[in-house]
Amino acid sequence: EPEVTQTPSHQVTQMGQEVILRCVPISNHLYFYWYRQILGQKVEFLVSFYNNEISEKSEIFDDQFSVERPDGSNFTLKIRSTKLEDSAMYFCASRTGAGVGNEQFFGPGTRLTVL
Amino acid sequence: TQLLEQSPQFLSIQEGENLTVYCNSSSVFSSLQWYRQEPGEGPVLLVTVVTGGEVKKLKRLTFQFGDARKDSSLHITAAQTGDTGLYLCAGATSGTYKYIFGTGTRLKVLA
């Protein structure tokens, strides 16, 4: 069964460093998402991406964040200068369409720890 | 700001008992999803409901979408230890590409 994959599973970085989190969405999906979940808190929407551009973003997704689909398979989230409060699980998700009933499939997540 | 409140926040029950988890909002959603999340893993989709008043069943789990599409419930019959986990509801409004997640209900089923 196709699935969303994410690498690495755990990333440890120093405050101020740049990190790139990678995702491979399901191959025939067209809409891509990043969410984050700070430990013990709810899942928060960061950004949605369609047709090679951002379609929606939250207030969390500031200038320190960027997304890219550099080739036909990968979808990346870059944090330019990490802060302690960026420590969280980051989940990538994808779906075939934006219509109601189109299931959203989540990857296993990348645990980002900023020291 | 759209908010989805889930209740109860925590629930600990004995195997074989029934339970209901609620997901409430003041916003109208075009669709609502329920997920279960295990520690250290991503949310796994259980069901999507799109029509007001809709009821869907998945084995011992019954999902209902409110008539006004502002709330939903998840009922588990004869809970099993394997039902233990974090249950999340997530709603999408029309014209948006994102799902807003609820605050979660952490369920523990004791043997």
Task: Return the pLDDT at B6.
Answer: 96
Q: Which CATH superfamily is domain A5-114 in?
A: Immunoglobulins (2.60.40.10)
B95 lies in which domain range? 5-110
| Per-residue model confidence as pLDDT tens digits over B74-90 | 999 999 999 999 999 99
Residues 42-71, chain B, touching A (beta carbon < 8 A): 42-45, 48, 50
Task: Return the pLDDT at B1.
Answer: 61
The answer, yes or no, to whether residue B110 has pLDDT greater than 80, is: yes
Backbone angles phi, psi at B81, to 5 degrees: -60, -30
| Per-residue model confidence as pLDDT tens digits over B90-107 | 998 877 778 899 999 999
Task: Return the pLDDT at A85.
Answer: 96
Percent of all residues in chain A with a pLDDT value above 70, rounded to a whole number: 98
Point out the residue among B40, B42, B48 whose CB comes nearest to the CB of A103: B48
Q: What is the mean pLDDT of chain A?
A: 93
Phi-psi region of A16 (alpha: psi -120 to 50; beta: other; left: phi over 0): left
CATH number of the domain bearing residue B90: 2.60.40.10
The answer, yes or no, to whether residue A98 has pLDDT greater than 80, is: no
* B92 to chain A, closest Cα gap in Å: 8
Model confidence band, residue A40 (pLDDT cutoffs 50, 70, 90): confident
Q: Could you give the C-alpha distances from A67 to A11, A21, A51, A89, A105, in angstroms and in order?
A: 17, 10, 13, 17, 18
* Domain count of the fold of chain B: 1
Percent of all residues in chain B with a pLDDT value above 70, rounded to a whole number: 98
* A47 to chain B, closest Cα gap in Å: 8
What's the whole-number mean pLDDT along residues B33-44?
90
Task: Return the pLDDT at B87.
Answer: 97
For chain A, give every domain's residue range. 5-114
Q: Where are the beta strands (DSSP E) in B25-97?
A: 31-37, 44-49, 55-58, 61-65, 71-76, 85-92
Model confidence band, residue A35 (pLDDT cutoffs 50, 70, 90): very high
Task: Return the pLDDT at A102.
Answer: 77
What's the whole-number mean pLDDT along residues A77-85?
97
Coil, strand, or helix at residue A84? Answer: helix
What's the whole-number mean pLDDT along residues A11-40?
95
CB B93 within 8 A of CB B28: yes
Model confidence band, residue B17 (pLDDT cutoffs 50, 70, 90): very high
Q: What is the mean pLDDT of chain B?
A: 93
Phi-psi region of B87 (alpha: psi -120 to 50; beta: other; left: phi over 0): beta
| Per-residue model confidence as pLDDT tens digits over A55-71 | 999 999 999 999 999 88
CB B94 within 8 A of CB B30: yes
Cα end-to-end span (Å), chain B: 40
Model confidence band, residue A100 (pLDDT cutoffs 50, 70, 90): low
Point out the residue among A50, A100, A106 whose CB comes nearest to the CB of B42: A106
* A81 to chain B, closest Cα gap in Å: 25
The two three-digit tokens of residue B85, written as one number? 């986990």
| Lowest-confidence pick of A95-109, B34-48, B55-69 | A95-109
